Amino acid sequence: MYIEDRPDLQAVLGVFQDKVLSKTTYFGVKTLKNPLDAWVYQEIICEVRPDIVIEVGNFCGGSTLFLAHILDALGKGKVIALDLSHKDVPEFIKKNRRIKFIEGDACKNSVRVKKLIKRTDKVLVIEDSAHTFENTLNVIKTFAPMVTKDSYLIIEDSICHHGIAVGPNPGPWEAIEEFIKDNQEFIIDRSREAFLITYNPKGFLRRQTVSGKYSKSMLTSSIQWLAHRFGYHISRWPIEPSSYL
Ligand SMILES: C[S@@+](CC[C@H](N)C(=O)[O-])C[C@H]1O[C@@H](n2cnc3c(N)ncnc32)[C@H](O)[C@@H]1O
């Protein structure tokens, strides 16, 4: 039983919504995070031990500091913090040695992010930005390839219209469904919703072992790229890759 199947929890969610949106702080800094989800992030980070946590959408930086403190306790790792603006982030967070702030649209800055990641780094991504369908899907498609095997891509606020009647519709839930339907590299790990009250139903995506199988979209783009690279003319686009599998 998951949050979207529990209309009886509306009153409890109303209290969470009021507290999370207006009164939750971390180290005195406003943080838009359900504390139960924050605890799960701590569990995931301790298991994965990432070298890089990419947080898309930082707002005041409370959640960013929370992530940096976990990495500090583990003795390794950096947070790459992306937001349109970091004007509301206090100086003491901006100076934290485990955080690298990048200002501007997250997807437009993906090349800068990639340059900060070493080939051997374990990478975890948290998307918590605009929550519209288009933006969420764009962030997922841009940053999912950076997530390393056995690590996570966490999409926040899929509770919009799938638990609480607020936020964009379609939103993160629909973006997750669109992404996952043609993707064999990630699985939705619903064991991360064990506390029931989560803002991220179906939002914990684990990158699983790739055992010689590739997603259609990956294979299509690889074939198209190779054909283009070697100057072959292929009359029918996109190629249907199922015949190659
Ligand atoms: C929900 S808040 C982030 C909350 C924060 N993660 C927390 O837990 O406290 C969303 C943030 O995403 C940022 N944002 C919206 N669209 C964005 C985009 N295209 N690229 C980067 N950041 C974006 C907004 O400026 C806003 O600060």
pLDDT in tens, the chain (245 residues): 899 999 999 999 999 999 998 899 999 999 999 999 999 999 999 999 999 999 999 999 999 999 999 999 999 999 999 999 999 999 999 999 999 999 999 999 999 999 999 999 999 999 999 999 999 999 999 999 999 999 999 999 999 999 999 999 999 999 999 999 989 999 999 999 999 999 999 999 999 965 444 445 445 545 655 665 566 655 444 433 332 22
Q: Supply the residue whose CA is at minimum distance from atom 18 of ligand 1.
A: 105
Query: 45 and 115, same structural domain?
Result: yes
Q: What is the pLDDT of residue 131?
A: 98
Q: Supply the residue whose CA is at minimum distance from atom 8 of ligand 1.
A: 32
**Half-sphere exposure of residue 40, counting CA atoms within 13 Å on the CB side?**
24
Residues touching ligand 1 (Cβ under 6 Å) are: 31-33, 56-59, 62-63, 82-84, 105-106, 128-130, 135
Query: 90 and 148, same structural domain?
Result: yes
Q: What is the pLDDT of residue 210?
A: 57
Q: Supply the residue whose CA is at minimum distance from atom 7 of ligand 1.
A: 32
Query: 191 and 176, same structural domain?
Result: yes
Q: What is the pLDDT of residue 209?
A: 66
Cα of 183 vs centre of ligand 1, distance in Å, is 26
Q: What is the pLDDT of residue 216?
A: 52
- Which ligand 1 atom sits nearest the alpha carbon of residue 82? 21
For the chain, percent helix, then strand, then coil, each to nearest 5? 40, 15, 40
Q: What is the pLDDT of residue 239?
A: 37
Query: 162 and 78, same structural domain?
Result: yes
Cα of 81 vs centre of ligand 1, distance in Å, is 10
Q: Supply the residue whose CA is at minimum distance from atom 14 of ligand 1.
A: 129
Pocket test residue of 55, 58, 166 for ligand 1, highest count of atoms within 8 A of CB:
58
Give whole-number Cα distances, 78 to 31, 44, 66, 75, 86, in Å.
19, 15, 12, 10, 17
Q: What is the pLDDT of residue 220?
A: 53
- Which ligand 1 atom sits nearest the alpha carbon of residue 57? 12
Cα of 135 vs centre of ligand 1, distance in Å, is 11
Q: What is the pLDDT of residue 53?
A: 99
- Which ligand 1 atom sits nearest the alpha carbon of residue 64? 6
- Which ligand 1 atom sits nearest the alpha carbon of residue 106? 20
Q: What is the pLDDT of residue 21?
A: 87
Cα of 86 vs centre of ligand 1, distance in Å, is 10
Query: 52 and 65, same structural domain?
Result: yes
Cα of 59 vs centre of ligand 1, distance in Å, is 5
Query: 154 and 122, same structural domain?
Result: yes
Query: 112 and 89, same structural domain?
Result: yes
Prediction pTM value = 0.87
Query: 137 and 229, same structural domain?
Result: no
Q: What is the pLDDT of residue 230?
A: 66
Query: 172 and 146, same structural domain?
Result: yes
Query: 103 and 28, same structural domain?
Result: yes
Q: What is the pLDDT of residue 125?
A: 98
Query: 128 and 15, same structural domain?
Result: yes
CA distance 242 to 245: 5
CATH classification of the domain holding 136: 3.40.50.150
Q: What is the domain range of residue 234?
A: 214-245
Structure tokens at 242: 């199922």
Cα of 187 vs centre of ligand 1, distance in Å, is 25
Closest CA to 32 of 204, 201, 200: 200
Rounded to 5 degrees, φ, ψ at 107 are -65, -35
Q: What is the pLDDT of residue 201?
A: 98
Query: 228 and 123, same structural domain?
Result: no
Q: How many domains does the chain have?
A: 2
